[in-house]
Amino acid sequence: MGRYLFKRLVQVPIVLLVLITLSFFMVRLAPGNPFSGEKKMDESVRQALNAKYGLDAPWPIQYLKYLKGLATLDLGPSYKQKGLTVNEIIAEKAPVSAVLGLTAMILALALGLTAGIISGIRQNSNFDYGSMGVAMIGLSVPTFVVGPLLALVFGLKLGWLPVAGYERMAGPIPYPQYLILPAITLALPFAARIARLTRAGMLDVINQDYIRTAWAKGLRERVIVLRHAMRGAMLPVVSFLGPAVAQILTGSLVVEQIFQIPGIGYEFVKSALNRDYTLVLGTVILFGVLLVAFNLLVDVIYGFLDPRIRYA
């Protein structure tokens, strides 16, 4: 376990460096520059702007400077939102996405695990067929179809929940009604995956000899499921949780757009489309760090769950 984790830890800076380099040059190599879009700009003004943001230096210098900034966690100024630094924008927007993502993840875990476990231990029951059918729909119907449909039904038709928007209650946390539809939309495909994985894991495990041993001891089904079967069944789910974070992040681009939530995903799309390079880079790096961190966390949890790995 220790050695394994060490190996993963060594990979972290490499992953981040690859990501930063890739996105940095992808942005720099693009034709045009951030200020070329603004038509009526004076050549002298443009030059001044380029100088101000260090865009007149050769790329390698720019790259090194950017890395230096990163080392002090400074992501630089935004090119398009005057007077704001990328750090400030991220600090403002990311918590909103975090609230949404976290809610969705909790929801997805609760839904997915419950459905998956019950389907697994009641294979071929109506519940199993029903929930696996729903899970398949969850996998096949894109978020951007589900979102508008939910908004249409619960927002417009029934009027129970707001169609869109984000009225804050405290800090990044909104009044719950603004969170319900977006969180459900975001959670759905994720819950579907978890349910399928859990069910498969459960099926796998309940056919294991050691579960038969547990029955032969006279334990009740609930104990067998929770104490003996759950851990093994959870392993595939846990490995999925790392990539799932990436999925939830990408999902939130769309969901934030549909429900007009002022989060970092929406901000990313906007900044990519209007070439706010530093902001784009900053967001990509943030996402990368999150992904890496979650993958590591998942590894730790995995080892924690499976003693064979922990002591290997």
Partner 1 sequence: MTQASAQPAPASTSEEAEQGVSLYADAWRRLRKNKMAMVSVGVIVTTGLLSTFAGVLAGFVGVGPTYGFRWIRAQPPGFTHVDTLNQTSLILGGEAQVREPYADASRLEFHTVEREVEEVRVAWNRRGVQAIALTEGAKPLDALEVAAGEHYWQEIDENKQALGERIQNASLQVGEPLPAAFGERPRSGVLFIQRVHEPASGRRVYAARLEGGAVKELTQNGAPIESALIEGRIVEQVLADGVPQTITHPLGTDLSGRDLFVRILYGGRISLLVGLVATLVSLLIGVVYGAISGYSGGRVDAFMMAVVDILYGIPYMFLVILLLVNFGRSIVMLFFALGAVQWLTMARIVRGQVLSLKQKEFVEAAIMSGSSPAAIMFKHLIPNTLGIVVVYTTLTVPAVILQESFLAFIGLTVEWGGESLDSWGALVKAGSDAGLSRSWLLVWPSLAMAISLFGMNFLGDGLRDAFDPQQRGRT
Partner 2 sequence: MSDPAKPLPVLELDDLRVRFKTDGGMVHAVNGVSFRVDEGEALGVVGESGCGKSVTNMTVLRLIPTPPGEVSSGTIKYRGTDLLKLSAKEIRKVRGGKIAMIFQDPMTCLNPFLRISKQLTEAILLHSDMTPDEARERAIQELERVGIPDAAGRVDSYPHEFSGGMRQRVMIAMALCTDPDLLIADEPTTALDVTIQAQILDVLRRLQAEKGMSLVLVTHDLAVVAGMCTRVVVMYAGRIVEEAPVDDLFADPRHPYTIALLGSVPRLDDPVGRHLTPIEGLPPKLAEEPTSCAFAPRCTYAFDRCRAELPKLEPDPDGRLRACFVTFKDGVPVEPVDAGGAA
C-alpha angle with apex 290: 26 to 65, nearest 5 degrees?
A: 45
Q: Given CA atoms 44, 50, 51, 52 in this order, what sign does their dihedral have?
A: positive
Distance, CA of 177 to CA of 200 (rounded, Å):
34
Q: Binding partner of residue 14 among partner 2, partner 1, none, CB under 5 to 8 Å per kind?
A: partner 1
CB of residue 218 to partner 2, shortest distance in Å: 4
For residue 275, the SS3 value is coil
Residue 64, both tokens = 């090194």
Q: How many residues does the chain have?
A: 312
Measured from the CB atom, the residue of 173 and 246 that comes closer to partner 1 is: 246
Q: Residue 203 interacts with partner 1 (CB under 8 A)?
A: yes
Q: Residue 212 interacts with partner 2 (CB under 8 A)?
A: yes
Distance, CA of 166 to CA of 93 (rounded, Å):
12
Residue 118, both tokens = 């019950």
C-alpha angle with apex 94: 89 to 96, nearest 5 degrees?
A: 115
Residue carrying the six token digits 């846990």 = 238
Measured from the CB atom, the residue of 219 and 290 that comes closer to partner 2 is: 219
Q: Residue 269 interacts with partner 1 (CB under 8 A)?
A: yes
Which residue of 1, 98, 134, 211 would you call a contact of partner 1, by CB under 8 A? 211
Which residues inside 215-254 make contact with partner 1, applying CB under 8 A?
Answer: 215, 236, 243, 246, 249-250, 253-254
Residue 209, both tokens = 């000899």
Which residue of 82, 126, 209, 222 would you call a contact of partner 2, by CB under 8 A? 209
Q: Residue 307 interacts with partner 2 (CB under 8 A)?
A: yes
Q: Residue 227 interacts with partner 2 (CB under 8 A)?
A: yes
Eight-class DSSP state of 230:
H
Site residues for partner 1 per CB under 8 A: 11-12, 14-15, 18-19, 22-23, 26-27, 29-31, 136-137, 139-145, 147-149, 152, 156, 193, 196-197, 199-200, 203-204, 207-209, 211-212, 215, 236, 243, 246, 249-250, 253-254, 257-258, 268-269, 272-273, 275, 280, 283-284, 287-288, 291-292, 295
